[in-house]
Amino acid sequence: MSKAYVTNYKEEPQEGGKPTEVTMEFDPASQNAAIWETRGQAEDACRNYESLPITISGRGACKGFTVEELGPKQFVVFCDHPSQP
């Protein structure tokens, strides 16, 4: 398993009652991750991401989103996912 850090998250409402389209981007390096200023904000993001059916490049589900503290007021979110063979 490898860490996949969230770098970008975007929701786009669709017309005609279709489900909202969600785009997420990941990076294996924590220094490229999106930053939350508080642990609470990052934990809220984790709960939101857990409710979505996320896969990375078809290599398996991305679940178990976790907060990691990089420094003062610097919290990032990652999930463990299957590494590329």
Which tokens hold the place of 25?
A: 């981007």
Q: How many CB atoms lie within 10 A of CB 24?
A: 17
Query: Can you give the pLDDT at residue 6?
Result: 93
The reply to whether the predicted model has a pTM over 0.75 is yes
Evaluate if residue 3 carries a pLDDT over 70. yes
Query: Can you give the pLDDT at residue 57?
Result: 65
**Cα distance between residue 43 and residue 12, in whole Å:** 22
Task: List pLDDT tens digits, range 9-63.
Answer: 888 888 887 777 778 888 999 999 999 999 999 999 999 888 877 767 666 667 7
Query: Can you give the pLDDT at residue 40?
Result: 98
